Structure 1
Amino acid sequence: MASDTLSVGWIGLGNAGYPMAACLGKKGYRLVVRDADPERGVKFVEEYPKSRAATMAADCFTDCDVVVTMLPNGRVVREVVLGENGIAKHMRAGSVVIDTSSSSPFDTRELGAELEKLSIDLVDSPITQEQLHAIDTGGATLMVGSDSPKALEKVLPLLKDMSSHVFPMGSLGAGHTMKTLNNYVSVGSIIALCDALVTGQKLGLDPQTMIDVMNVGTGVNFSTKYSMSNLKSYDSGYQLELLVKDVRIAKDVMEKSGFQSELPGLALKYLEDSLKLVEKGACHSECLTSWEQRAGVEIQKTDRDKKANGTGSG
């Protein structure tokens, strides 16, 4: 098993990083973990005693064969790996960095070229999921890019221990390309759903019933099934500011591919307008706030219990 042969470092124990690292902890990996909040590392080691918490020193991952990063964006990944206190200069030749963050594929290729000079391979392996909180139970989907067949062979067992669905997509950056296009499709459904909800309410439809209909119709999507299935719960765990970042990456990827479409720019405008109306760290589904403002309506959340008992609106 890879848990017996690989020494693994992990940087980033946030909403996604902690449960992903925990998938390896449950399978007996001896992880060296680090987070900007040291208490997250302490908590992880308490839960998985085979692991140990790293300090912020650059040489904490010297003995690791593989270091996984799960960080907010590519800029942070680059700083952690190659910055003033970066870990790369202390890593062994032949080691591998796996970036599971949501980053620009172009930035990933640049980072890979610089790491290659240090004889370190970079693999991009961002995540998505088919249902809410799938990452908590090892059900994430990984999209993998690598220029090194040897590095890919080395890390695939590790990735499969992290996730149920692992898709090698091609050369370095291909994983991040797939991630941004996947998120772009998801954004389209979010915007269409917000349009439909405010329009429906203006015309007398119950928004919660609309979602119930879509979930057994052709309008079904991740938002209707999970993140916005219970209107205004705003608890998906995925922040609006991260969604905006992902749309910016998608827009850049499309433009650099030479394909012309007006939709990415329009989606970005709508979501950036939404970002101005919510508090920092707000759930991405709270973008609905700006649709309510533009439509001049407030989406009414139906009490499902009352509705089921015949005492609510129907």
Structure 2
Amino acid sequence: MGRPMATRLLNAGYSLICYDPNAESCATMQAAGATIASSAQEAAAAAPVALLSLPTPDVVRAVICGDAGLLGAEGAAIIVDLSTTGPQVAKEIAAVAAEQGRTLVDCPISGGAEGARNGTLALMLAGPEAAVTPLVPALEHLGNVFRVGDSAGQGQTMKVLNNLMSTAALAITSETMVLGAKSGLDPDSMIAVFNAGSGRNTATTDKFPKHVLTRAFDFGMSIALSAKDARLCLEEADRMGVPMPVGTAVRQMLMLTRDHLGPDADMTEILRVVEQWAKVEVHRKPASQEAAQ
């Protein structure tokens, strides 16, 4: 996610100082025109604003607050976290940053790798107006910016709600597609009916046509990260006293897929677990068969 977002900012004329522990990513960004730092702290020391796109809350915490973290550098008065950490971690890091005169802007994103490449992400922006308003023109090169709150944690709450809804749609679409296939229904016809009717959702309009019915399973988000996001949402629900029995079932399905196929499996591979239970696979008709009809 970080590389295509950084590329869009470069193409828009912004100067970037980049760091990634992956040397290949650094080489790609250098070839695109970015300056490469030897560490995240070095990058932050030379920039007024730091943008982070990292995989887990623990990594975000270490990169910002760790011994070699951003807060140890003079610079980066504003830290924009595009990652998904959950509301409590965002609040914790914001408090630590504030003690050092820095501002954490909570700005998680949704839309997947394709959205990052195309500049069609949804950015859920939360932070004090003085900090976030100057950021909006740059962030709009990444997608649609939604101001969801004034304090860290509100963007994260919006993000985990969104992701749980998205994975719920994927899980139930996987189950219904397998049932339909075992009943003899054509997968493409099912998708067409769902999208013309009340079953329409992001799985039927995007994930299944592009990433599942092709059997590529290449949406670009691992099942481990998807399960992490569901956990963060349910932890917040428990903290707030909101029952989420459907959300709990979705998380169980994510964990089953993770444990069955491994943490690096694509989140769209939920379908494969349902297929194995049902002893049927969801396949498109061969082109020759469709032509004959």
Alignment of 1:12-51 (within 5 A): 16-47=1-32, 49=33, 51=34
Which of 161, 166, 171 lines up with 2:141 in the alignment? Answer: 161
Paired positions, count: 289
Range 65-74 or range 191-200, more displaced = 191-200
Matches of 1:223 and 1:133, distance apart in 2:
14
- Tell me, yes or no, if the aligned pair for 2:19 and 2:43 is still in contact at 8 Å: no
Matches of 1:270 and 1:161, distance apart in 2:
35
Cα displacement string for residues 175-215 of structure 1 (whole angstroms, at most 9, x for unaligned residues): 11111111111122112112212222232222332122212
Q: What does residue 13 of structure 1 align with?
A: none
Q: What does residue 117 of structure 1 align with?
A: 99
Cα displacement string for residues 199-256 of structure 1 (whole angstroms, at most 9, x for unaligned residues): 2223222233212221222212111122122422201111111111111111112111
Question: Gapped runs of 5+ residues in structure 2?
Answer: none
Matches of 1:216 and 1:307, distance apart in 2:
24
More helix by share: 2
Which of 216, 225, 239 lines up with 2:222 in the alignment? Answer: 239
Q: What does residue 165 of structure 2 align with?
A: 185
Q: What does residue 153 of structure 2 align with?
A: 173
**What code does the residue aligned with 1:273 have?**
L
Alignment of 1:63-82 (within 5 A): 63-82=46-65
Matches of 1:212 and 1:308, distance apart in 2:
15
Change (3 A) 1:57 1:175: closer
Q: What does residue 198 of structure 1 align with?
A: 178
Cα displacement string for residues 254-288 of structure 1 (whole angstroms, at most 9, x for unaligned residues): 11121112122211111111112214422111011
Question: Gapped runs of 5+ residues in structure 1?
Answer: 1-15
Cα displacement string for residues 21-78 of structure 1 (whole angstroms, at most 9, x for unaligned residues): 111000111100111202211111102x2x2011126333212110000000221111
Matches of 2:8 and 2:225, distance apart in 1:
23
Moved beyond 4 Å, runs of 4+: none
TM-score (norm 2): 0.92
Q: What does residue 221 of structure 1 align with?
A: 201
Cα displacement string for residues 149-174 of structure 1 (whole angstroms, at most 9, x for unaligned residues): 211123222212332x1011012211
TM-score (norm 1): 0.87
Q: What does residue 9 of structure 1 align with?
A: none
Matched, 1:56 2:39: yes
Matches of 1:142 and 1:253, distance apart in 2:
20
- Tell me, yes or no, if the aligned pair for 1:70 and 1:101 is still in contact at 8 Å: yes
Matches of 1:17 and 1:101, distance apart in 2:
10
Range 118-127 or range 262-271, more displaced = 262-271
- Tell me, yes or no, if the aligned pair for 1:59 and 1:91 is still in contact at 8 Å: no
Matches of 1:110 and 1:290, distance apart in 2:
37
Which of 81, 87, 90 lines up with 1:99 in the alignment? Answer: 81
The secondary structure found in structure 2 opposite 1:161 is: coil
- Tell me, yes or no, if the aligned pair for 2:175 and 2:271 is still in contact at 8 Å: no
